[in-house]
Amino acid sequence: MTEAVARSVRQPSMADVARTAGVSAQTVSRALRDSPNVNPETRRRVLDAVDQLGYRLNNAARVLSSGRSFTIGLVLLQSGGYYSRSAVTAGVEAAAGHAGYAVNIATIAGLDTGLMERALSKLADQGVDGIIIAVPLISVTQKMEDITRDIPTVTLDGSRTAGARVLGIDQLEAGRLATQHLLDLGHRQVWHVSGPDEWIEARQRLQGWRECLAAAGIEAPPALEGDWSPDSGYRQGQIIAMIPDVTAVFAASDEMAFGIIRALRERGRSVPEDVSIVSVDDIALAAYCSPPLTTVRQDFYRSGQAAVELLLDPDGANASVVPASLSVRSSTAAPRSH
């Protein structure tokens, strides 16, 4: 006797639900989207049918017919800043999910306009309703403008295209807070290990540092440049260790700060006794490595959330700023008196 071949069963559609509930497909659609004009009794019947059939709304069909995808795209940089990337993602995902949106990720391998264009294209192809760019745009191309003109975009701490809104942590302020803290402790000079120049954050922190020193009438020493990684901090730290009079360093990220500290210690300079170090980020480990870092706290998770809110708010402001605050721990101290 021939058995019916077990074939992959077709997923139930709205029409199936409608049939089971004894209503039209349109009514099912309305009931599922809590449209106001649906009889509670009818809605219940529909929901029962949904349960019974194990119905699942077909997203593609909804997107096609409604023109909205309920998905937002997130552009991230692959390398560097594991902590911040991860925290931003979590914040974005949480806020998006809360608003009924899914998140689609596009990672780019480096700061390159070509890669950036491809990432944006990919998201545009996916039909995202909005885009959050969490990497700095070094330069904005026509293609990027085209895409961000058609799709609402929020730039997190980056430069902007004509169409994009900008959300930023106040990096100028972060640089000032860090530098001022060192000056307040009595240091007469503050060195700086910056992030890569392509990054807006890096430039702004650098500028905050310069301005703060200028305001105190101090001429800024040359800035050293790292790439956010602990390893680059280590390399710049080796250089700093060769300069005799350094008593205070402002590092543009916690990870670099740890590298700097390691290099200084290996050369017999202790932190904070000989050299004070302050940085920016306040990653989870900042309080637990040795010494616990004095650092300017950035709330990445909150930034991610705020970016989504800014994106989805139809008449929101065009720019918004998340404040930064100083966490004082043990990597800074008054300079040793001679």
Partner DNA sequence: CGAGCCTATGTTATCGATGCCATGCGTAAC
Partner DNA sequence: GTTACGCATGGCATCGATAACATAGGCTCG
Binding residues for DNA, per CB under 7 A?
10-11, 13-15, 22-27, 29-30, 32-33, 36-39, 41-42, 55, 57-58, 61-62, 64-66
CB of 99 to DNA, least distance (A): 16
Choose the contact partner of 330 out of a second copy, DNA, none; CB within 5 to 8 A by kind: none
Choose the contact partner of 23 out of DNA, a second copy, none; CB within 5 to 8 A by kind: DNA
Nearer to a second copy, 93 or 157 (CB): 93
Residues in a beta bridge with 75: 106, 133
Choose the contact partner of 212 out of a second copy, DNA, none; CB within 5 to 8 A by kind: none
Token pair of 14, please?
A: 């709205």
* Binding residues for a second copy restricted to 88-147, rule: CB under 8 A: 89-90, 93-94, 97, 102-107, 109, 121-122, 124-127, 146
- Site size toward a second copy, by CB under 8 A: 55
Largest CA distance in the chain: 100
Binding a second copy by CB under 8 A: which of 140, 289, 321, 326?
289
Choose the contact partner of 106 out of DNA, a second copy, none; CB within 5 to 8 A by kind: a second copy
CB of 98 to a second copy, least distance (A): 11
Whole-angstrom distance, CA of residue 236 vs CA of residue 256: 9
Choose the contact partner of 103 out of a second copy, DNA, none; CB within 5 to 8 A by kind: a second copy
Distance of CA 214 to the CA centre of its chain: 31
* Binding residues for a second copy restricted to 189-248, rule: CB under 8 A: 229-231, 233-234
- Give the ranges where 126-246 is alpha helix by DSSP (H): 142-150, 171-184, 200-215, 230-242
CB of 236 closer than 8 Å to CB of 205: no
CB of 126 to DNA, least distance (A): 13
- Give the ranges where the chain is alpha helix by DSSP (H): 14-21, 25-32, 40-53, 59-66, 82-98, 113-125, 142-150, 171-184, 200-215, 230-242, 254-266, 300-312
CB of 322 closer than 8 Å to CB of 167: yes
Decide: is 328 part of the binding site for a second copy (CB under 8 A). Answer: no
Q: How far is CA 316 from CA 160, 251, 320, in A?
A: 17, 34, 9
* Type of residue numbered 125: D
CB of 121 to DNA, least distance (A): 14
Decide: is 58 part of the binding site for a second copy (CB under 8 A). Answer: yes
Whole-angstrom distance, CA of residue 53 vs CA of residue 31: 16
Helix, strand or coil for residue 226? coil
Burial (CB < 10 A; 0-12, 13-18, 19+), residue 11, is exposed
* Type of residue numbered 68: R
Helix, strand or coil for residue 21? helix
Decide: is 56 part of the binding site for a second copy (CB under 8 A). Answer: yes
Binding a second copy by CB under 8 A: which of 216, 287, 328, 334?
287
Residue 82: in which H helix or E strand, if any?
A: helix 82-98
Chain residues binding a second copy by CB under 8 A are 54, 56-61, 63-64, 69, 71, 78, 82-83, 85-87, 89-90, 93-94, 97, 102-107, 109, 121-122, 124-127, 146, 229-231, 233-234, 255, 258-259, 261-262, 265, 283-285, 287-290, 292
